[in-house]
Each structure stands twice: as C-alpha cells, then as structure tokens.
Amino acid sequence: MSSSRDYPIDSQLLNILTREMNRQRDKLEMIASENFVSENILRITASVFTNKYAEGYPDFRYYGGCEYADELEILTQGRARKLFGAEHANVQPHSGSTANMAALFAVLKPGDPIMGMDMAHGGHLTHGAPVSFSGKLFKSHSYGVRQDTEQIDYEALIAQAEEVKPKVIVAGASSYPRILDFEKFRQAADRVGAILLVDMAHYAGMVAAGLYPSPVPHAEIVTSTTHKTLRGPRGGLILCRKPFGKAIDEEVFPGIQGGPLLHVIAAKAAALGEALEPDFIDYQRLILKNTQRLATRMADAGFRLVSGGTDIHLVLIDLRTKHLTGIQAEEALDKAGITANKNTIPFDTQRYTVTSGLRLGTAALTTRGMVEHHMDEVADFVVSALRSVDDEGQLKKIREAVAAFTRKFPLYPGLEF
Ligand SMILES: *Cc1c(COP(=O)(O)O)cnc(C)c1O
C-alpha cells in the first residue's frame, strides 16, 4: 500500500457514513448523554495518532517512537488537572465504564461491599448493577430516591452506609435531574471509612464551568466521560488524589487496557482546551437555561417532571399521566425526527425494555446553536409527536417540519461524513 488512494471508501460503507451524517443533521438530538464535538475535535480524532502504540505512561513506554505521544499525554493530563483542580489525572480510559472499572479495581478486592445508586432510580450500570462487572465482582448494595420527593434521602443513605459498611460509595447518575450533595456523600463515607468515588460523567461540562458543585474537593476519586456535557471525543477520564494515582494508573494499564487511543487523547486535549476558554461557561449556562425553558414548556403541556423539575441539562418525564410508555414515546419521537431515549423512572412498574419515562437533554441542541426561545419550538415538536403516537401521517408531517427547523442550525457544513 503506497497511499490511502489505493483504497477508496467502498460505496456500501460510504452509504452508511453519509446516512448517519444526514441523520445527525436532520433530526433533533435530545439524548442527554450525547453532544456534537467541534470540527477541530472531529479532525483530531481522525489524526495519525491512531497509528501509534504507546502502552505505558509518559515516564515509561513499552514502545519506541513515543516522544510526541509523551508530550501529548502530559499536555492532556495537565489540562485535566487544571480544568478540575485535581492532583492527578489519568486520560487513558477508553470509556466512562472502563474508568469506573479501573477506579473500583484500584481500591477493592473481589467480594468487597460497595454502595451505588440503583439503576432504576438513575444510577449507572457500573455502579453495582447485577448485570455489570461491578455487581458481579463486588457485593453491591444500592440506594435510591424517596418515593414522595423523588430525590435522594441523605439521612437514609448515611444509615444504610452504617449498616452495610461499604468500602466504596459511588455517587453519580445518568438520569437523576437534581444536583448531588457531595458533602452529604462525604459524610456517609466518613462514617464508615469508605472511599468516595464520584462519577461526574453527565455533569463534567457544568462542573468545568463552575455551574455544578465540583466533586473534586470531596472525593478521593472522580471519574467521567469526556463526550457528554464536556463536549469532547468519546472516552473516559479519572481524577484522583495523589496517593491513589499509582494504583489507578496501574489498573488502567496494564490492569484492564492495552495501548491508549492516542488520537482520542489528542481530541481530549482539544476538548479540555475548549473547556478552559471563557466562552465554555456561556455554553454551559445556556444549556441550563435551555433545559429550564424546555422543562417549563413540557410542564405547561401537562407532563409531570420527575422530582418536580431539574437543576441540570436534562429532564426526566413521567409519561404515565398521559397513558404512554417510554418505548411508545421513543418510537413516536423517532418517527417525528426527534432522537431521545425511554428511561425508567423511580418506582417504575414497567419493564426496563418498556419503561414509563422519557429522558430529554439539551446539550447537543445547545451546541447546534439553539437558544431559549428555540426550546419553545422544540417542546412543541415533542408534545405534538407525543399526542400523535398512532398517527403516522402526523408524525411524518412533524418530521418534515423538524428537518426544516434543523436546517437553520448547520452541522459540520461542507463535511461529507
Ligand atoms: C454515560 C455514563 C457512564 C459510561 O460511559 P461509557 O463511556 O458509555 O462507558 C458512566 N457513568 C455514568 C453516570 C454515565 O452516565
């Protein structure tokens, strides 16, 4: 092979790539865990660093030719520490789940007790769900929200910690619309000498902007994804206090991963760089305003918001009062050109494949350039689709209106895929 021109992209693959691009362009992206990276980050993710092996860390690699890899990783670690005020950063985890795995493995032995939020109440798989490594390898105890407030009961959490004596308490969630009280989590951990692991996957962007309380002063270890509100490439990140650095690094590599994805680390450096710019705060502030506006419109249309509202970038809607299930809503929205996900709500009586909830996020819409008043139109599209779940003709009409609307917010103009 002398050059990549020897291998044109075959039409079958090209067709998939361009249709995905069109999907992202034409639809309203409301999955709360998704976002659109900048064109720079897109380009960097496709850089020649994808060709390079660099097992190890900047001070010790198992391969030659790592001088620029070293420089890159040191730069990225430094930006992560600076952005979040952390003592130590590992930027190698391939995903948020791997970051959590490394963090848990670094401080636990198989069979040790852990406490994490119940997945049915908003927690993540890796916080002790039975189907995950975290529930299989550790003795997992879950905490949830109160049925009346749909918020975490910290007194109950502390009492549960005293009872089950976890070695690690995991704080963090994927569909809990309220701000977590990290001081209370710290108190619970201190009562029993547990390590506090905060998984800020969903909040990282807001934390970076100072609009969500930082877990870093409270937790020994903080994990995150880089691709949600942080608006970076798909990947993970671990921050920790100095004494945990060595154990964490050894768990990431060689514990569970091989070579780092240097092209993704380069894109993480770019994302962290973007997040260090002052206008990133404006972006995060706008996400929060947009979510408030969306929440208000949905509530005005008679939808019940779990916990009565939101403090963050997402709303969780209880569809039961509208006699809809999550899967019905997800499918109707998809036909209407709106991408979102069904979600269990606390004390859901439907199976997780059906659910009674719908999770809507605004981070990706905000990246596309939508501001508060646009959320009125977005909410109107959502509401009319949810009123037309069985009306294919109406859903098609909404999809056409959505496509016309999204054209006003160009995405990667000029790019083929
Ligand atoms: C999204 C998420 C993760 C996992 O991220 P992946 O990159 O998909 O593995 C972990 N924890 C929480 C709370 C999340 O929301």
Residue type at position 308: G
248, 300: one domain: no
What percent of the chain shows pLDDT beyond 70? 99
CB atoms within 10 A of CB 350: 17
pLDDT score at 4: 55
Work out the pLDDT band at 264, boundaries 50, 70, 90. Answer: very high
247, 233: one domain: yes
53, 127: one domain: yes
Q: Which run of H or E residues covers position 400?
A: helix 392-406
Residue nearest to atom 8 of ligand 1 (CA): 96
223 within some domain: yes
pTM, to two decimals: 0.97
Mutate to test the pocket of ligand 1, among 35, 97, 101 (most ligand atoms within 8 A of CB): 97
| Token representation of residue 172 | 């963090």
Positions marked catalytic: 53, 55, 199, 225, 228, 234
Above 70 in pLDDT, residue 129?
A: yes
User: What mean pLDDT do residues 127-134 have?
Assistant: 97
pLDDT score at 59: 81
User: What mean pLDDT do residues 83-90 have?
Assistant: 98
Above 60 in pLDDT, residue 302?
A: yes
225, 98: one domain: yes
42 within some domain: no
Which stretches within 174-308 are classed as H helix?
Answer: 182-192, 204-208, 245-250, 262-276, 279-300
pLDDT in tens, 178-233: 999 999 999 999 999 999 999 999 999 999 999 999 999 999 999 999 999 999 99
Which of 32, 375, 29 lies closest to 203 in space, CA to CA? 32
User: What mean pLDDT do residues 87-107 have?
Assistant: 98
104, 245: one domain: yes
Of 247, 275, 303, the one marking the end of a domain is: 275
2 within some domain: no
User: What mean pLDDT do residues 68-91 have?
Assistant: 98
State the number of CA atoms in the 13 A half-sphere of 162 facing the CB: 8
5 within some domain: no
Above 70 in pLDDT, residue 348?
A: yes
Would you call 119 exposed, middle or buried from its count of C-beta atoms within 10 A (0-12, 13-18, 19+)?
A: buried
For the chain, what is the domain count? 2
Above 90 in pLDDT, residue 407?
A: yes
Q: What are phi and psi of 182, to 5 degrees?
A: -65, -25
Mutate to test the pocket of ligand 1, among 170, 199, 212 (most ligand atoms within 8 A of CB): 199
Residue nearest to atom 5 of ligand 1 (CA): 96
207, 316: one domain: no
pLDDT score at 7: 82
| 45 CA → ligand 1 middle, Å | 20
Of 275, 295, 323, the one marking the end of a domain is: 275
User: What mean pLDDT do residues 140-161 have?
Assistant: 97
Residue nearest to atom 1 of ligand 1 (CA): 201
pLDDT score at 8: 87
- The residue segments making up the domain with residue 350 are 10-37+279-406
Residue nearest to atom 3 of ligand 1 (CA): 96
Query: What are the counts of helices (DSSP H) followed by strands (DSSP E) for the chain?
Result: 15, 15
Which of 44, 106, 99, 125 lies closest to 225 in space, CA to CA? 99
Mean pLDDT for the chain overall:
97
Atom of ligand 1 nearest to the CA of 174: 15
Above 60 in pLDDT, residue 1?
A: no
Which of 291, 94, 305, 154 lies closest to 212 in space, CA to CA? 291
* Protein residues with CB under 6 Å of any ligand 1 atom: 33, 95-97, 100, 124, 126, 172-174, 199, 201-202, 225, 236
CATH of the domain at 368: 3.90.1150.10
126 within some domain: yes
Give dist(CA 396, CA 336) in Å, integer: 6
Atom of ligand 1 nearest to the CA of 173: 13
